[in-house]
Structure 1
Amino acid sequence: MTKIVFLQGKDAIERGFSAEQLDRLRTLGEVVLNETDGPPTLEQMKRQIASADIAITSWGCQPLTEDILAHAPDLKAVLHAAGTVKGIVTPAVWEKGIRVSNASEALGKGVAETALGLTIASLKDMWRLSQHTKTGAWGNRERVKELYDVTIGVVGAGKAGGHYIKLLQNFDVRVLLYDPIATHEEAQRLGAHKVDFDQLLTTSDVISIHAPSLPSTDNLFNRETLAKLKDDCILINTARGTIIDEAALTEELRSGRLFACLDVTNPEPPVPDHPFRKLPNAILLPHIAGSVNNGVYRLGVFIVEDIERFLNKEKMRGEVSSEQLSILA
């Protein structure tokens, strides 16, 4: 019988997998839960993974080193109920031919939906109008725009960026995509026009960042590139804080030229007196774009379905190869 082992703590299992999902897993094999709350220690992971055929990990789990994997000689697959697997997989995983999957597609849906919500709220000028209305005014609507006949720039066509583009197909907007990896044909299939970075910067009314954190994206939005944005451009970052030079963005925001919605910062949380906390044209959120509360169950469903695919000898939907790690978030 296939042995399916959870390595994350009991609290993390309960947060991400419903009773229904766990019952569905039990129809596929013997399910071994971690009965201890909190991130597992090295010794706990060694004990928990013993004799596993399939291991499920999530946030808080330690890297699957040679030392840990030695306790599971029959391990065939690792499924990560979270986003990036960079903190979980090690060279030993690939060397042993263990297949790897993650739930970034499920996670990306929540990110894309959040980005769409920020897009609509910002174009409608809801943030400013709400504050004015609370003070007794009945705000000036001159800045209000519909999600119609505007240009939306998307940086990165991964799981989140791709789903954001898909959601935008419901609106009469022009979608531009900057992604060095995606081809023109792939962009077209998504419903976007592939452009170079300068064209996206200079022509977009809204820019939504969905790029991974890589050396090539570090401070991609800096003093020089931010200066190319149109006046009143809305910049949305639900990806990684390292992609924006925060000092440069602060300068632009203080000038009143741009509007920013930031779900991520570098570091997190920002210091108590960070300008982002006070500037009226900066919306600061506590990293809620991905799966939170009930949305985490999306990840559980995705992982269970990928285990079914694996056992049916199909390619897992969230399957990741060692060659992809250099371009993934």
Structure 2
Amino acid sequence: MADDVDGDTSHAHPKALLVMSERTCGDLFDGARWRRLRALVDLDEPARVDVFDDEVLARLDSVEFLITGWGTPVLDSTVLRAAPRLRGVLHTGGSVKSLVTEHFWDRGIIVTSAAEANAIPVAEFTLATILMEAKRVPVYAAGYASTRDVAGSWRDDIAPSVTFGGVVGLVGFSRVGRRVAELLRPFGFDVVVADPYATPEDVHAAGARLIDLDDLMPLSDIVSIHAPELPSTLNLLNARRIGAMRPGAVLINTARGALVDTEALIERCRLGRLRAVLDVTDPEPLPADSPLFDAPGVVLTPHIAGAMHRETLRLADSALDGLEALVRGSAPRHVVDRSLLGLSA
């Protein structure tokens, strides 16, 4: 961790504190980003903490900005009372629901999120998965490996590819869903979207068309989930909707595992009627004896669609952009709208 990177402290800056795990901090802040941070704010030592103990709470008296991330403790009323000058929380993660309590909103503290930056790798992962599955690449690869026969009759049992003219259904027109729709433009798919809060005009502008979820499920060759986990979306893809998917269809989930009826999904995959690529599951992490590990046609990835390794630098940049705006007295981008929290992840 580069806490000891030199910075310009020749004139007074507002004080800030990083509150996140050491590993998260090391991923987010390289030398260039530490230098940018120290040029904007003053950081007492240690610059990073991961608990709000009595010593840290005492330090909050002069802090104007908190920079948070994965591993940050809840910002509750105790933190708020200890930080009378606090005016901004710059979050390097996506959702702030489990981080910021009602007390913060009531005091008018500005909260920003890096959800837009994190949507980029999720959308790219989804695009890559759609293209591979549309070409049936994983199925061909498995057949070739098991038969050692490059052109055998085993190929006849594989469903035709849907790489040109196939239907991709996006469940949710979120940041990620919208970006996936736009990324799919050059590839000749018919892209349809189901989202009760989207408008036909916005969906059309992204190169897709808006339809009802119950129409999307049997129509789509590939269904990709990009909806938030809310009480209204639990088991959104229930047994009836999964059962309506066409034979040979593929379900991709990079959103939240609880949106899918896992038992119904496993049953459909065991029948050979469906494939699934799951980057998220319910529960998460999965127990070692979960039937998902051995279910035919199920590909599990360990929650890797979001920002990893150098991709996380985008998240730091997002927070630093917001911090710079606040320090300079302007409005930051990506401010979290309290009124929309009930519709977001």
TM-score, normalised relative to structure 2? 0.89
Matches of 2:47 and 2:110, distance apart in 1: 26
**Structure 1 residues 281 and 32 mapped into 2: Cα distance closer, same or farther (>3 Å)?**
farther
Higher alpha-carbon deviation: 27-36 or 257-266: 27-36
Give per-residue Cα distances to partners, 1:101-136, cap 9 Å, x unaligned.
Answer: 111111111111111111111122222222233342
* Aligned alpha-carbon RMSD (Å): 1.9
Structure 2 partner of 1:108? 119
Q: 310, 324, 330: which one pairs with 1:294?
A: 310
Residue 326 of structure 2 is aligned to residue 315 of structure 1: no
Whole-Å separation in 2 of the counterparts to 1:123 and 1:196? 23
After superposition, the C-alpha distances for 1:284-315 in whole angstroms (9 at most, x for unaligned) are 11111101122111111111112223334443
Percent of aligned positions with the same letter in both sequences? 33
Unaligned segments of structure 2, at least 5 residues: 1-12
2:70 alignment partner, one of 46, 49, 59: 59
Comparing 48-57 with 189-198, which one deviates more in the overlay? 48-57
Unaligned runs of 5+ in 1: none
Query: What's the offset of the Cα at 1:44?
Result: 6.2
CA–CA distance in structure 2, aligned partners of residues 75 and 110 of structure 1: 32
Counterparts of residues 1-329 of structure 1 (less than 5 Å): 1-32=13-44, 34=46, 39-43=50-54, 46-47=57-58, 49-135=60-146, 136-138=148-150, 140=155, 142-143=158-159, 145=161, 147-329=163-345
CA contact (8 A) 1:64 1:90 kept: yes
In 2 relative to 1, CA 205–48 (structure 1 residues): closer, same or farther, beyond 3 Å?
farther
Q: Secondary structure at the match of 1:250?
A: helix
Q: Distance in 2 between matches of 1:129 and 1:44?
A: 59
| CA distance in structure 1 between the aligned counterparts of 2:191 and 2:55, rounded to whole angstroms | 48
Runs ≥4 residues deviating over 6 A? none
- Pick which of 249-258 and 48-57 moved more: 48-57
TM-score (norm. length: structure 1) = 0.94
User: What per-residue deviation string (whole Å, max 9, x for no partner) do you get for residues 69-126 of structure 1?
Assistant: 1221111110111111011110110111101111111111111111111111112222
Distance, in Å, in 2 between the alignment partners of 1:150 and 1:169 is 13
Q: What code does the residue aligned with 2:25 have?
A: I
1:172 and 1:277 map into 2 onto residues whose CA distance is 33
Please give the alpha-carbon distance, in whole angstroms, between the structure 2 residues aligned to 1:44 and 1:188.
54
Separation of aligned partners in 2, 1:85 and 1:120: 32
Q: Which amino acid counterpart does residue 67 of structure 1 have in structure 2?
A: T
Give the Cα separation in 1 of the matches to 2:46 and 2:202: 41
CA distance in 2, matches of 1:296, 1:31: 22
> By how many angstroms is 1:279 displaced?
2.1
Change (3 A) 1:248 1:296: same
How many aligned residue pairs are there?
328
Shift of 1:317: 2.3
Q: Tell me the CA shift for residue 239 of structure 1.
A: 0.3
